[in-house]
Amino acid sequence: MIKINSPVSILEFGSSYLRLAVYDKSILNKKVFYEERNNNIINKIQNEDNNLFKLIINVEKDIGQHLKEIILVLDSTSIHSLDFSLKKNYEKKLFLKDDLDQFINESEQIIKKFNKNKIILHTIISKIIIDDKVFEQLKDVSIKVSKVVIEFKFIIIEELNLNFIKNLLLNKHISIKNVYCASYINSLNLVNKMEKSKYISFIDIGLNKSSISIFNENKLAYINNTHIGGRHITKDISKILNLDYNKAEVEKLNFSKLNKINNNNENNELLKKIINSRVEEIIELLFSNCPLLKNNTFDNDLKLYFLGNGSKVLNENLLSFGSDFSFINEMSIINQKKEDCCEATIKFINSDEKIQPKKINLSLENKGFFEKLFEYFSIK
């Protein structure tokens, strides 16, 4: 048994695996970590044998106490981002931290008002413009200003997607403290370790879905998801090579090794074509609505990194796609450890990157100008 005095529990709810890590907040280097496959959990909601319950029971036995609350980290195809900016005139008044907090609160309220049944996972300040001067962040907020514009990026999710997990955990008397977007947390941790670059993107290929995060100068610029993942590659192999699903999965997982051993093997060449075709489709779908691509912003200077269990089928020899992807200057694969996402979440919680969405209800009398303007156009 490992004694943990101030537990911080993080549940990564992935499409392939469920991972639960408990850290000791007082030292942050002592942890318990367990992993289970996410198999048919939807069909076993009332069954104590489902793998989520196994995970919780194992962790609770290990730390010798009941888990009361967890931090949930997940990805979903219902996750997407919204851009929003808010402007205020101050007439040379002092701009204080409380004013910055009010910007955040008002912006969150407007986003919530016009995105019913959605939950804000992340509020990100993209840019602060004070009297036409651009700041990435303000550490010491106490200056005289005339005009302030703050540009935000919000990451939101359908509330319905969270209710299922919330009810599962309530069966074990565990509440959800906070919810974060896994692909954002994970990619932010990676990009902060890299040399600063103009554009860096990460594609995470999971079992049933894939996601992309694009960063501009280490700031999130774009996020998107698609319903296609590693399972679809396996199905393609199964259909074209006339194999049952399990055999096709083995062929897929062994492909990188096989490809290195015998590049001229005819079967390997066919496998390469099957895998490349589906991966190309994933890339196309993830970039399909990207304004940076539509505006030719990348200027052939985009670095692309593949993550996730689904990307393990790739190797450096496979990373060559058609001319449609000429905007990508460099492609490579990052092999991560299974606990990396949980550790990235701990770093995020204790960093300056986090703005926790606040639940503040503005009265009708206190509606700001921009909220009224939004309401006017929504009626029209």
Task: Give the residue extent of every domain in the chain.
Answer: 7-76+161-181, 80-156+353-379, 183-342
pLDDT of 177 over the 80 cut: yes
Q: What percent of the chain has a predicted confidence (pLDDT) above 70?
A: 81
* Mean pLDDT within 144-148: 88
* Mean pLDDT within 113-134: 92
What is the predicted pLDDT for the residue at 261?
45
What is the predicted pLDDT for the residue at 303?
92
Quote the CATH superfamily of domain 183-342. ATPase, nucleotide binding domain (3.30.420.40)
What is the predicted pLDDT for the residue at 370?
40
Q: What is the pLDDT of residues 333-371, one digit of tens each?
A: 998 999 999 999 999 998 866 665 443 232 333 444 344
Residue 115 CB partners (closer than 8 Å, separation 6+): 82, 156
* Mean pLDDT within 267-290: 89
Q: What angle do CA 73, 79, 81 make, to 5 degrees?
A: 115
Which phi-psi region, left, alpha or beta, contains residue 218 (left: φ > 0; alpha: ψ -120 to 50)?
Answer: left
Q: How far is CA 362 from CA 29, 329, 366, in A?
A: 41, 47, 6
Q: How far is CA 109 from CA 191, 233, 360, 365, in A?
A: 30, 41, 7, 14
Instruction: Decide if 203 contacts 210 (C-beta within 8 A).
Output: yes
Q: What's the pTM value of the predicted model, to 2 decimals?
A: 0.84
DSSP state for residue 114 in the 8-state scheme: T
Question: Which runs of E-coded beta strand occur in 75-172?
Answer: 80-96, 118-130, 133-135, 142-158
What is the predicted pLDDT for the residue at 293?
86
CA separation for the pair 306, 288 (Å, rounded) = 18
pLDDT confidence tier of residue 171, bands split at 50, 70 and 90: confident
Q: What is the pLDDT of residues 192-233, one digit of tens each?
A: 999 877 899 999 999 889 999 999 988 999 999 999 999 999
What is the predicted pLDDT for the residue at 95?
79
Mean pLDDT estimate for the chain = 82
Topology given in CATH for the domain delimited by 7-76+161-181? Nucleotidyltransferase; domain 5 (3.30.420)
pLDDT of 44 over the 50 cut: no
One fold for 7-76+161-181 and 80-156+353-379: no
* Mean pLDDT within 292-320: 81
What is the predicted pLDDT for the residue at 371?
42
DSSP H or E stretch at residue 214: strand 210-216
Q: What is the pLDDT of residues 57-114, one digit of tens each?
A: 999 999 889 999 999 999 888 898 999 999 999 877 887 778 889 999 999 999 999 9
pLDDT of 179 over the 90 cut: yes
Which amino acid is located at 221 in the chain?
A: A
What is the predicted pLDDT for the residue at 264?
53
Q: In CATH, what class is 80-156+353-379? A: alpha beta
Q: What percent of the chain has a predicted confidence (pLDDT) above 90?
A: 45
pLDDT confidence tier of residue 317, bands split at 50, 70 and 90: low
Task: Using the CB atoms, write b or e for 177-190: b if 16+ within 10 Å.
Answer: ebbbbbbbbbbbbb
Number of H helices, E strands in the chain: 11, 14
Question: Would you mind telling me the total number of residues written for the chain in this entry?
Answer: 380
* Mean pLDDT within 26-48: 66
Q: What is the pLDDT of residues 238-259, one digit of tens each?
A: 999 999 999 999 888 887 665 5
DSSP state for residue 35 in the 8-state scheme: E
Centre a 10 Å sphere on the Cβ of residue 327 and count the other Cβ atoms it contains: 18
pLDDT confidence tier of residue 374, bands split at 50, 70 and 90: very low
Instruction: Decide if 222 contacts 291 (C-beta within 8 A).
Output: yes
Centre a 10 Å sphere on the Cβ of residue 203 and count the other Cβ atoms it contains: 26
SS3 (DSSP) at 127 = strand
